[in-house]
Amino acid sequence: MPAAPFTVSELAAALAAIGCFEGRPLVAVATSGGPDSLALAILADRWARGQGGVAWAVTVDHRLRPDSAGEARRVGDWLAARGIPHAVLAWEGERPVAGIEEAAREARYRLLGRWCREHGCLHLLVAHHREDQVETFLIRRAAGSGPAGLAAMAPVRELAGCRLVRPLLAVPRARLAAVLAAEGQEYVSDPSNRDPRFARARLRRDGTAEGTALAAALAAIRRHGEERVAEERRMYRLTARAVVLHPAGFAVLDPAPLAAAPDERAMALLARLVLTLGGARHAPRRERLARLRARLAAAAPRAATLGGCRFVPWRGQVLVLRELAAAAPPTPLDPGAAAVAWDCRFVAALPAGAGAGGGMTLGQLGREGVAMLDRDVRRPAAAILPPLVYPALPAFRDPAGDIVAVPHLFYRRAAVDGSPRLALRPRVQLTGAGFAVV
């Protein structure tokens, strides 16, 4: 019996279960032109219009196939015939020799996230469906993933400036294909989906995610998802008791709750803290986290370094600071330009007209900068941060290298026009939206 098309009302119910949309929603739909994403774009357009909102279809042209630009134009023509606004984003720059699939995925989400930020769009919808979810589970299981990974994909994930929403994780692929059949809509067929070099293509060829295996995998995904939700809640409670994250880019860690926590949870918190303040993409190895935890739990804790961070005992607690030698070099800032990131922790911008004479740079204050402030202006009385953190604080300098502002020490040179804007926005957040099972 043919599958019934997935409907707008069913999409509305799935989105309502996820929640947090505006009254007149503006959403973006990642639309490759394949059957899944094209079906979602059509249904999301009708859902958004029904509430007085807009759904944009956004296509990333990875430029990995000769006709990719032509395919993107063809998708745009199909959508234009339906009155659906469409944007095409091109992946520029060098391509890696190895790991092209992962690099393309990172580029896709980077470009889509940037488009959403530039257009004030808070929601990026993607068409991952039931079979995608099962394939993710099987790939992770084969790789020896832990319980959190075996929960597979989350229905909501935070990106920089927007959230990625997967409303179709429980929807069979056949029901999305039925949408296009009912609409008489053509679609793009990506040959990489059949390329046996890729794990997902091999699973589809072998029929691994079908029949009883499919049902068993779905049950396991749900069980692992519920376990992950429960463990994340325990982790968040531990984080709230043990860590104070300061907007100046350091943290104060209470070792007592950490010492009382189970080993895996304590090491997971240390790993997250290192990623937040050190900016690395991957957590430190388990054995290094275990050594750090043991050192911090000792009767007389000793200072340590890990992942670009320093752990320094301080007044019965532990300061977690950016390691000076590991920090990024100064980043130039141009007045009136878009905000830029520095050291995977901060974003900054200069208002138009600020820093006359060549803009500014943002970098760490450094020990020489601390000495300069002590010598020339004296340390501001309002500064109440531990002196140990001063060298790692973000500081703005003029083209001559002189300090213009150190916001977290309440210092700003009087002769400078326009205050630079600075915010802590680490690449990896200490806590996030959390996993969900819907």
Phi then psi for residue 423, to 5 deg, are: -145, 145
Q: What share of the chain in percent tops pLDDT 70?
A: 91
Please state which CATH number belongs to domain 8-209.
Answer: 3.40.50.620
Residue 193, pLDDT score? 58
pTM of the full structure:
0.80
Both structure tokens of 71: 């395919």
Check if the beta carbon of residue 126 is closer than 8 Å to that of residue 166.
yes
Look at residue 381 in the predicted model and tell me its pLDDT: 46
pLDDT for the residue 197: 53
Determine the pLDDT at residue 416.
64
* Average pLDDT value over all residues in the chain: 89
Tokens of 68: 């990719």
Residue type, 128: H
Degrees (nearest 5) of the Cα angle 82, 88, 94?
160
Query: What is the chain's pLDDT, residue by residue, as a tens digit (438 residues)?
Result: 789 999 999 999 999 999 889 999 999 999 999 999 999 999 999 999 999 999 999 999 987 787 888 899 999 999 999 999 999 999 887 777 777 778 888 889 999 999 999 999 999 999 999 999 999 999 999 989 888 899 999 999 988 789 999 999 999 999 999 999 999 999 998 666 555 555 555 666 555 566 678 889 999 999 999 999 999 999 999 999 999 999 999 999 999 999 999 999 999 999 999 999 998 888 999 999 999 999 998 888 889 999 999 999 999 999 999 999 999 999 999 888 888 999 999 999 988 877 555 678 999 999 999 998 887 665 554 457 999 999 999 999 988 889 989 999 988 887 666 678 999 999 889 987 788 888
Closest CA to 339 of 350, 330, 328: 350
In angstroms, the CA 163 to CA 160 distance is 8
**Domain extents in the chain:** 8-209, 227-323, 327-424
Cβ 94 vs Cβ 43: under 8 Å: no
Longest dimension (CA), the chain: 82
Q: Which fold has domain 227-323?
A: Chorismate Mutase Domain, subunit A (1.20.59)
Neighbours of 129 (CB within 10 A): 23
420, 348 contact by CB (below 8 A):
yes
pLDDT in tens, 341-355: 999 999 999 888 775
Same fold for the pair 8-209 and 227-323: no
> Which residues have CB under 8 Å from 137's CB, separation 6+?
150, 152, 217, 220, 221
- What is the per-residue pLDDT across 166-212, written as a single tens digit (0 to 9) for each? 999 999 999 999 999 999 999 998 666 555 555 555 666 555 566 67
**H or E stretch at 412:** strand 411-412
